[in-house]
Structure 1
Amino acid sequence: MRSIKLLALILTVFGVQSAFAQQKSLEKIWETTEGIHVPESVLYHEATDRLYVSLIGQGGTDKGEIAILLPDGTVEDPHWITGLNAPKGLAIHKGLLYIADVTKIIVVDIVTSNIIDELPVEGAVFLNDVTVDDTGVVYISDTRLNKIYQLRNGKVTLYLDNVPSVNGLKYHKGNLLALAGKEFWSIDATKKVTVFTKGFEQGGDGLEPLSNGDFLVTCWPGLIYHVTANGVIHKIQDVQGKMNTADLGYNPKAGVIYIPTFNSNSVIAYKLK
């Protein structure tokens, strides 16, 4: 016991939190059984207490829609928004849902369920994730072009180039966090890039911050990681070859994560322990 405590102290002194002290685990709560087809992204919204799920369609680049789930896994509306073009990342700001939809950004009023804007992104090939900062500026990744775009005051412009295989985005405490291939970047207001951590087995997909400063990261082929506040990576699920783990959602009050399984056609809720 004394040796374990000593090792923990040494790791803490050198800025590394021990795996046995910090390791997270997942306990399955529920899984949807019908009404969900190729889910790519899940967004939990506290104000409405609903899960918004992007369904990209069988082709991957056409026939998409947004479904709504209740927190217990009940599919409230499998066809809430239809006629989309393989929607992926989702973000909500002041009652507006922003959707990354291959080559354009779709804006939906979540109260009326109306599409209020469709903004083409010139030159875009594969828009993937989306996040919004505190002032309402929207950031969108294009994974195949290695670019991050910015939507400000109704105008889309290039924000940052040469971000390799960029996918998951999250605005967090003044910085834009990005999953760039197998690396986790932090981008400040001056566009200075810091590699926060790296070493994921596959390219990152979903990214969610935890209240204690840690993060959760998913990789589409079937990996879920817990990343500590100082960048130590712990793999907490590996289901590669069995199902996908795409762009996760997170309910911080309940401590529950929601995993879209993509080709397995379901959403799974796990209690984070």
Structure 2
Amino acid sequence: MKKYILSLALLATCALAGELKYQEIEGFLSPESVFVDKNAVYVSNVGKKLEPLAKDNDGFISKLDKNGKVLEYKFLSGLNAPKGMKEIDNILYVVDIDTLKGFDLSTKKEVFTLPIKGAIFLNDIEKLNDTTLLISDTGTGIVHKIDLKTKKYDELLKLDLKEFGGPNGLFLHQNLLYIAGYDPSGVSGGMVLSYDLKNKKIQVIKSEKEPYDGIVLKNNILYVSSWGKDLKGVIYALNLKNKSVKKLDLPLIKGPADIFLDKNNLWIPKMAEGKILKVELE
């Protein structure tokens, strides 16, 4: 067991000519999402098989330090296919197919459970405030608004799956909710959008349809992950000011899922490879 755990912390740091400096962390099982708080890094693992909707009880959350060292491989276990995460008041909230769960980070006990009626593919979480979460359901096209105190929820918006794809990744900045679209049927792809919480208007940022997944914002640049074609994933940098689009110069990424930006470090789950990339942005 000790040898196995050590292998999980195998790190490779590379900086080839023209490429960003990155670190690769191996040993995960279909890692879907990364969340970083002030103390640690959390990685949601869907399980041995890349089956994001399978209720097979083999999903778990890994805990790492910020250097990428695995502190506890199965920090939280007994989940099905955990995906997006968010921490509020020392409780780590995680979506698990059709249920929102919360775990006390000190005791690891499950302290919150809320099944979402009609949910198909709960995917990402964003925080509106300390008592309200926004949760995407890629399967129905709905972004749910969850009141953590009352355990009541309603529909913030519903995307047309054929036109935009279902909401996958979410990122909230001021009054704009940025959305990475993903077609759950795998046919037409999705778009990159913004939704104004005040006037309730949708704006298309990237209309080229692809299987987009994660989305973050830094200095007016949206970083968006796409699974691409034939598992040749990319990370786009979309400049919101000059409307330019470029791909980050990174090695092949098979299944870049729900990315996270911690200061200048972009954490990228390579879901189909069982690895995490930690990329130092310029």
CA distance in 1, matches of 2:260, 2:44: 11
- Name the counterpart of 2:33: 41
Structure 1 position 155 matched with structure 2 position 152? yes
Is the 8 Å Cα contact of residues 26 and 270 (structure 1) preserved in structure 2? no
Following superposition, the deviation at residue 173 of structure 1 comes to 1.2
Mapped contact 1:177–1:187 kept (Cα < 8 A): yes
Larger radius of gyration: 1
In the alignment, residue 268 of structure 2 is paired with which amino acid? I
Q: Aligned pair 1:29/2:22, yes or no?
A: yes
- 3-state SS, counterpart of residue 192 of structure 1: coil
TM-score, normalised via structure 2 length: 0.79
In the other structure, the counterpart of 1:187 is: 195
In structure 1, what is the equivalent of residue 262 of structure 2? 251
Moved over 4 A (4+): 237-240
Matching of residues 103-252 of structure 1 within 5 Å: 103-152=98-147, 153=149, 154-163=151-160, 164-181=165-182, 182-190=190-198, 192-200=200-208, 202-210=210-218, 212-221=219-228, 222-230=233-241, 231-237=243-249, 243-252=254-263
| TM-score, with length taken from structure 1 | 0.82
Q: Which residue number corresponds to residue 185 of structure 2?
A: none
d(CA) in 1 for partners of 2:199, 2:63: 35
More strand, by proportion? 2
Assess if the C-alpha contact under 8 Å between 2:61 and 2:76 holds in 1: yes
| Greater RCO structure (CA 8 Å; 6+ sep) | 1
Which residue does the alignment assign to 1:16?
A: none
**TM superposition shift of 1:51:** 0.9
Distance 1:140 1:233 in 2: 27
Distance 2:258 2:140 in 1: 19
Distance change (3 Å), C-alpha of 1:257 and 1:195: same
**Percent identity of paired positions between Structure 1 and Structure 2:** 27
Give the alignment partner of residue 264 of structure 1, picking from 240, 252, 273.
273
Contiguous gaps of at least 5 residues in structure 1? 1-24
1:15-94 equivalence runs, <5 A: 27-34=20-27, 36-45=28-37, 47-48=38-39, 50-57=40-47, 58=49, 59-60=51-52, 61=54, 62=56, 63-94=58-89
Hey, what's the Cα distance between the residues in 2 that align with 1:200 and 1:66?
33
Note closer, same or farther for the CA distance 1:239–1:142 as it changes in structure 2 (3 Å cut): farther
Q: Is the 8 A contact 2:181 2:192 kept in 1?
A: yes
User: 1:51 and 1:26 mapped to 2: Cα distance?
Assistant: 24
Give me the CA root mean square deviation.
2.0
